[in-house]
């Protein structure tokens, strides 16, 4: 495991079961709670360092943490060095970047006014101090050699080229060109490796179709309120797509299979991964045995995944496996994309933004809520005919959801 952000600092008071540190694995970021109330006495492993299972990463000094105590503010693991500035109050602290600029310019901390939180001296404070100081007067020339004006150079404009800056007005000041180097998190590195692996090991191809969402919208409008009252969860789009994909996977099992060495492994169960956003990147928790779940159970499962992904509380086992994936880029406004399969799966369905568009129906042009669908598949085990037929079946089921009930 890699140490993510320490949510508490050395000396902070912590209540039992309160998150103390975030641990990053290849699958997810999880928060480690305090085993009991007390004070964080020591941090032994800093952010970015790797710790083995069972290794001590910090020391908690047991002690009371009454309900009246204010919870400590969450801060990043890498605290700036607490170097007191030589001010009268003695409470200012010098940030590392500010200390570097002070040394470069030969300034003392007490010469610069600190504006950072808690009286911290920031790099911006030092730069602001430099700009505010008057320029030193120019040295007078020696008396023995009277100053001579340099020859005046007339700007010459090359034909077809813009005139020099002096002839166009005052020169513009260049903007900031600072750079920030941030190490990749363990989760982001794993995502990158797996995506590159998919491109290198699979023969990926994408096919497209579009679906008229009128029937789904009509069902949600007719039954949405009663669905919410009965199950305490909204009837969303994802449950329709999960059901439609399971229905299509039963007809085209190669999209629910994987390549294992020189064999093709067909899965007789349907573990559907759903891509959800988190603070650390895109994660894909898996709905186990989706073929056995109702619409309400699917919606509650996805809602729970989304909430815990934002809170970094997904369990590693919930991100493992999966036989097929659904990615909804439409929630971010995507109109069309080519999703990448999640190895070792052989297929991923990409949903996109729904938009009213003119379409032809029964010889007339009408406005319908349309959505583009994209299916990326591993051409090593999925033929083009199967992929196109799968996507067409998903479209047909969504345009006539009653087909899911009678399984045709």
What residues are annotated to the active site?
Answer: 379, 383
Cα–chain center distance at 43: 27
Pairing mode, strands 93-94 and 120-121:
parallel
- Would the CA dihedral through 277, 280, 281, 286 be positive or negative? negative
Sign of the torsion formed by the C-alpha atoms of 222, 228, 233 and 234: positive
Strand partners, 371: 211, 354
Count CB neighbours of 100 within 10 A.
Answer: 13
Contact 55, 18 (CB under 8 A): no
Q: How far apart are CA 311 and CA 285, in angstroms?
A: 14
Taking the alpha carbons of 74, 79, 84, 87 in that order, is the dihedral positive or negative? negative
Task: Enumerate residues 6+ apart whose C-beta is below 8 A from 211.
Answer: 370, 371, 373, 394, 395, 398, 399
311 φ, ψ (degrees, to nearest 5): -95, 5
Distance CA 342, CA 277 (A): 16
Beta partners for residue 266, in sequence order: 257
């Amino acid at each position: 495991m890699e140490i993510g952000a320490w949510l508490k600092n050395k000396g902070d008071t912590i209540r039992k079961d309160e998150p103390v540190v975030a641990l990053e694995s290849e699958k997810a970021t999880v928060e480690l709670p305090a085993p009991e109330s007390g004070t964080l006495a020591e941090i032994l492993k800093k952010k970015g360092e790797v710790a083995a299972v069972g290794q001590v990463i910090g020391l908690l000094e047991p002690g009371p943490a009454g309900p009246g105590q204010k919870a400590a503010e969450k801060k990043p693991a890498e605290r700036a060095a607490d170097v007191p500035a030589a001010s009268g109050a003695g409470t200012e602290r010098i940030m590392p970047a500010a200390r570097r600029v002070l040394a470069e310019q030969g300034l003392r901390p007490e010469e610069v006014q600190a504006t950072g939180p808690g009286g911290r001296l920031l790099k911006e404070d030092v730069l602001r101090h430099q700009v505010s100081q008057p320029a030193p007067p120019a040295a007078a020339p020696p008396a023995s050699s009277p100053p001579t004006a340099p020859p005046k150079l007339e700007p010459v404009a090359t034909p077809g080229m813009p005139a020099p800056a002096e002839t166009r007005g005052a020169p513009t000041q260049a903007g900031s060109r600072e750079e920030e180097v941030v190490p990749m998190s363990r989760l982001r590195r794993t995502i990158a490796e797996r995506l590159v692996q998919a491109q290198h090991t699979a023969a990926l191809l994408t096919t497209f179709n579009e679906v008229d969402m009128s029937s789904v919208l009509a069902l949600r409008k007719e039954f949405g309120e009663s669905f919410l009252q009965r199950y305490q969860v909204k009837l969303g789009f994802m449950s329709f797509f999960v059901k439609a994909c399971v229905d299509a996977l039963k007809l085209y099992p190669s999209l629910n299979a994987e390549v294992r060495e020189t064999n093709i492994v067909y899965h007789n169960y349907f573990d559907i991964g759903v891509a959800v956003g988190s603070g650390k990147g895109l994660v894909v928790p898996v709905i186990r045995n989706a073929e056995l779940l109702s619409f309400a159970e699917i919606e509650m499962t996805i809602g729970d995944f989304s909430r815990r992904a934002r809170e970094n509380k997904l369990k590693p086992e919930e991100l493992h496996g999966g036989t097929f994936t659904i990615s909804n880029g439409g929630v971010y406004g995507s109109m069309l994309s080519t999703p990448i399969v999640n190895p070792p799966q052989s297929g991923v369905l990409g949903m996109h933004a729904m938009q009213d568009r003119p379409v032809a129906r029964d010889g007339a042009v009408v406005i319908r809520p349309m959505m583009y669908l994209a299916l990326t598949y591993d051409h090593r085990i999925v033929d083009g005919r199967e992929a196109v037929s799968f996507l067409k079946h998903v479209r047909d089921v969504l345009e006539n959801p009653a087909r899911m009930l009678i399984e045709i």
